[in-house]
């Protein structure tokens, strides 16, 4: 066996901020501008400093340097020049880079490079400020005495799928370049939002948002669109139009405890607030994927409002010490640039659930909002009596973010322990059902059917304990969906959406049901609504939307979303197959052949003949088969 080739290198990861939205606004113009920028400026700059372009990733670059100093000089000159170029560009056409720099041991495979050093560079890029650079402490140690510009200490960051926290440093050529309103920051994933049990601080913020809704009505703003034009597509069924409701974003609460291991608690607060607010049909609430990229970033509320297309911003901080917790919350009108309201809560953790309802009503009264009994009942929690059980659920949710067999096992153990502490705690069962679905999805069990059966049992237990458990209904719906039981799946997912109209995962599941039932236009409308709440959806969501566009003969739209999916997951066989069929229908044989060859590399035994078997309507199966045949896959 040949000896593995390794070497120490400086690795630079470059990404275009908001690439997908730029492409959605002007696909041809964005591609042309990026191509010209690379050939005229970026690639020559890399070569000038001795860098080697390893590969491109659709909206990004991976570059290797032999010298850390050369890597930093290149990135700083690049970002400085880009800032000057963007000054002359209209705001909605600016190409803004985000760059991560790391030094580490790499594995060389042909012209490609791999290894933990590469992975860390990619994750550093995700937390870099738009227009700036994020570097690891290893890079900082080499360059700190060689730079004329100051570096900002970014503290220790927990990076996705990186075992240990990384000390980071930040650099921008001047105050961080603002991405255009159409640009969004990439997600670094943290715990998923719980759909039910919330502590009193969550309910407090929920009432703040209701206050926003009331103020919105009382200020005669009714009818004003809160969403950008691209988000104003009509939606189907019980999916309300985002443009008819005030839009709000809850930014990640800041952990002031001085202990990074307590991030799960502040993140859990944030996500349960989002879930609580989503239960109010009068609001458009941004999903956690839209807001968590702003974690740890000093971005003005007005800039966040423009990027997310919202008017109202909720910010907060959490300090947990011993048996006490202090929470600060404030509400800002991002458009007017005004602080509307702020409040501090300081209480014993053991009393946190007891005061929940009273705090909510006090805040609602202060903001002159009359809560209907139905909405109030939905927004307020039916809390567990055990704070320890709640803490275990938060820890389990955090483990699920890692998406590994070991993390999944640990999460299920946390949820089991929570259910033992409080057998009536619906969230413990609902999240455990979610974990068992992941166990089956990833094939981490020898008996997939048994895992799915147990997920269904847990989902039903959750909704028995709490008929308004959004996650419980969603778990049941996803089980039916996996089994091809579309009518049953639709009923359960509809129940979840009735409880939380802003539930982006529920909307995505609803769109998938509509797709396979053959209700193509409705599937498109619901998928587009889901993207409004969650600009960084799962790959499955992009595939389903691409399939719906294909069946609607909207082939250019299908290519747009499918290429976005491939840029994120280059080895997805289903996306390559659908892209090949789409290019064939567009009479682009060379592109179809490229995707066909990519599919063969990724999945040599891909069964194209069975690809559309989930369609209930033979007409839709036939049209997909036609495209696959034209692409040479059948």
Q: What is the DSSP code string of 109-174?
A: ETTEEESHHHHHHHHHHHHSPTTSEEEEHHHHHHHTTT-SS--EEEEEE--TT-SS-EEEEEE-SS
Task: Pick the range with the lowest mean pLDDT from 49-63, 286-300, 359-373, 408-422.
Answer: 359-373
Is residue 340 over pLDDT 70? no
68 near 76, Cβ under 8 Å?
Answer: no
Query: Binning pLDDT at 50, 70 and 90, where does residue 585 land?
Result: very high
Is residue 179 over pLDDT 80? no
- DSSP-assigned letter for residue 41: I
Q: Which of 491, 490, 509, 500 is nearest to 469 (CA)?
A: 500
Is residue 595 over pLDDT 90? yes
First to last CA, the chain: 38
Quick one: what percent of the chain has pLDDT higher than 90? 20
CA distance 323 to 4: 53
Query: Binning pLDDT at 50, 70 and 90, where does residue 223 land?
Result: very low
Per-residue pLDDT, 350: 60
**pLDDT, average across residues 279-302:** 75
Is residue 412 over pLDDT 80? yes
Rounded to the nearest 5°, which phi and psi values hold at 279? -75, -10
Between 70 and 287, whose confidence is greater? 70
CATH of segment(s) 200-379: 3.40.50.10610
Q: How many separate helices (H) and strands (E) can be counted in the chain? A: 25, 14
Per-residue pLDDT, 560: 92
CA distance 606 to 600: 8
CA distance 400 to 267: 14
By three-state DSSP, how is residue 445 classified? coil
Between 54 and 503, whose confidence is greater? 54
Which residues, in sequence order, are CB contacts of 522 under 8 Å at separation 6+? 236, 237, 514
**Over the chain, what is the mean pLDDT?**
75
Quick one: what percent of the chain has pLDDT higher than 70? 75
Per-residue pLDDT, 226: 30
CATH topology of domain 5-171: Alpha-Beta Plaits (3.30.70)
Query: Binning pLDDT at 50, 70 and 90, where does residue 373 land?
Result: very low
pLDDT digits (tens, 9 = 90+) for 102-127: 988 788 777 778 887 888 888 898 88
Residue span(s) of the chain under CATH 3.30.70.1230 come to 5-171
CA distance 105 to 2: 18
CA distance 347 to 359: 12
**pLDDT, average across residues 493-508:** 81
For the purposes of burial, counting CB atoms within 10 Å of the CB of 605, is it exposed (0-12), middle (13-18) or buried (19 or more)? exposed
Per-residue pLDDT, 347: 64
Is residue 366 over pLDDT 70? no
**pLDDT, average across residues 231-242:** 35
Is residue 563 over pLDDT 50? yes
Task: Pick the range with the lowest mean pLDDT from 59-68, 166-175, 363-372.
Answer: 363-372
CA distance 359 to 364: 9
Per-residue pLDDT, 148: 64
Query: Binning pLDDT at 50, 70 and 90, where does residue 194 land?
Result: very low
Is residue 549 over pLDDT 50? yes
248 near 287, Cβ under 8 Å?
Answer: no
344 near 328, Cβ under 8 Å?
Answer: yes
Rounded to the nearest 5°, which phi and psi values hold at 342? -150, 155
Tokens of 157: 């960051």
CA distance 114 to 97: 22
Which residues, in sequence order, are CB contacts of 327 under 8 Å at separation 6+? 201, 204, 253, 269, 316, 317, 318, 319, 344, 345, 346
Per-residue pLDDT, 604: 81
CATH homologous superfamily of 538-634 equals Tetratricopeptide repeat domain (1.25.40.10)
Where is 332: in which H helix or E strand?
A: strand 324-333
CA distance 182 to 192: 25
Residue span(s) of the chain under CATH 3.40.50.10610 come to 200-379
Residue span(s) of the chain under CATH 1.25.40.10 come to 538-634
Query: Binning pLDDT at 50, 70 and 90, where does residue 535 land?
Result: low
Is residue 176 over pLDDT 50? no
Which residues, in sequence order, are CB contacts of 365 under 8 Å at separation 6+? none
Q: Using CA atoms of 345, 197, 482, 537 in order, give the dihedral in degrees to the nearest 10.
A: -10
325 near 255, Cβ under 8 Å?
Answer: no
Query: Binning pLDDT at 50, 70 and 90, where does residue 238 land?
Result: very low
- DSSP-assigned letter for residue 294: G
Task: Pick the range with the lowest mean pLDDT from 362-376, 462-476, 542-556.
Answer: 362-376
CA distance 407 to 398: 9
Distances (CA, A) of 615 to 50, 513, 549: 52, 10, 14
CA 278 to chain centre: 16
For the purposes of burial, counting CB atoms within 10 Å of the CB of 308, is it exposed (0-12), middle (13-18) or buried (19 or more)? buried
Rounded to the nearest 5°, which phi and psi values hold at 85? -60, -40
Per-residue pLDDT, 359: 34
């Amino acid at each position: 066996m040949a000896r593995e080739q390794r070497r120490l290198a400086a690795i630079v990861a470059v990404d275009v901020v908001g690439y997908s939205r730029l492409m959605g606004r002007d696909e041809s113009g964005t591609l042309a501008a990026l191509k010209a920028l690379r050939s005229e400026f970026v690639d020559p700059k890399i070569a000038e400093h001795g860098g080697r372009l390893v590969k491109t990733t659709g909206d990004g670059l991976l570059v290797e340097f032999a010298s850390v100093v050369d890597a930093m000089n290149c990135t700083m000159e690049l970002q400085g020049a880009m800032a000057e170029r963007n000054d002359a560009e209209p705001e909605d056409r600016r190409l803004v880079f985000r760059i991560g720099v790391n030094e580490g041991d790499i594995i060389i495979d042909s012209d490609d490079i791999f290894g933990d050093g590469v992975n860390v560079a990619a994750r550093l890029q995700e937390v870099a400020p738009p227009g700036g650079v994020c570097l690891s402490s290893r890079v900082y140690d080499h360059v700190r005495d060689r730079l004329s510009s100051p570096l900002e200490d970014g503290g220790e960051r927990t990076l996705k799928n990186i075992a240990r926290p990384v000390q980071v440093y930040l650099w921008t050529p001047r105050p961080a370049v603002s991405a255009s309103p159409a640009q969004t920051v990439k997600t670094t994933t943290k715990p998923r939002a719980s759909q039910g049990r919330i502590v009193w601080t969550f309910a407090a913020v929920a009432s703040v948002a209701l206050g926003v809704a009331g103020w919105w009505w009382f200020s005669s703003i009714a009818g004003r669109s809160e969403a950008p034009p691209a988000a104003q597509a009509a939606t189907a069924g019980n999916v309300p139009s985002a443009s008819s409701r005030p839009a709000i974003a809850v930014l990640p609460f800041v952990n002031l405890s001085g202990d990074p291991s307590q991030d799960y608690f502040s993140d859990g607060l944030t996500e349960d607030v989002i879930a609580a607010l989503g239960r109010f049909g009068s609001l458009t609430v941004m999903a956690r994927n839209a807001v968590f990229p702003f974690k740890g970033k000093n971005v003005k509320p007005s800039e966040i409002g423009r990027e997310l297309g919202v008017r109202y911003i909720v910010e907060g901080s959490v300090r947990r010490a011993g048996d006490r917790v202090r929470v600060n919350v404030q509400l800002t009108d991002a458009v007017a640039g005004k602080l509307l309201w702020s409040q501090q809560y300081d209480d014993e953790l053991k009393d946190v659930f007891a005061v929940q309802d009273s705090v909510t009503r006090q805040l609602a009264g202060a903001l002159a909002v009359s809560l209907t009994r139905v909405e109030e009942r939905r927004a307020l929690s039916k809390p567990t009596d055990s704070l320890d059980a709640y803490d275990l659920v938060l820890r389990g949710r955090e483990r699920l973010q890692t998406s590994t067999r070991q993390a999944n096992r640990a999460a299920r153990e946390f949820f089991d322990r929570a259910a033992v502490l409080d057998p009536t705690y619906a969230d413990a069962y609902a999240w455990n059902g979610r974990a068992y679905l992941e166990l089956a999805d990833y094939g981490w069990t020898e008996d997939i059917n048994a895992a799915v059966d147990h997920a269904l049992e847990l989902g039903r237990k959750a909704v028995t304990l709490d008929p308004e458990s959004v996650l419980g209904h969603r778990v049941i719906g996803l089980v039916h969906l996996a089994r091809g039981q579309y009518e049953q799946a639709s009923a359960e997912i509809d129940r979840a959406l009735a409880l939380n109209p802003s539930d982006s995962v529920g909307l995505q599941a609803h769109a998938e049901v509509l797709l396979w039932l053959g209700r193509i236009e409705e599937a498109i409308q619901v998928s587009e609504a889901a993207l409004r709440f969650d600009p960084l959806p799962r790959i499955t969501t992009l595939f389903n939307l691409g399939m719906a566009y294909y069946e609607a003969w909207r082939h250019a739209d299908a290519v747009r979303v499918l290429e976005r999916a491939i840029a994120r997951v280059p080895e997805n066989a289903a996306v390559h197959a659908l892209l090949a069929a789409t290019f064939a229908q567009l009479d682009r044989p060379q592109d179809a052949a490229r995707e066909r060859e990519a599919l063969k590399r990724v999945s040599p035994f891909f069964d194209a003949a069975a690809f559309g078997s989930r369609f209930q309507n033979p007409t839709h199966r036939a049209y997909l088969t036609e495209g696959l045949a034209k692409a040479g896959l059948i």
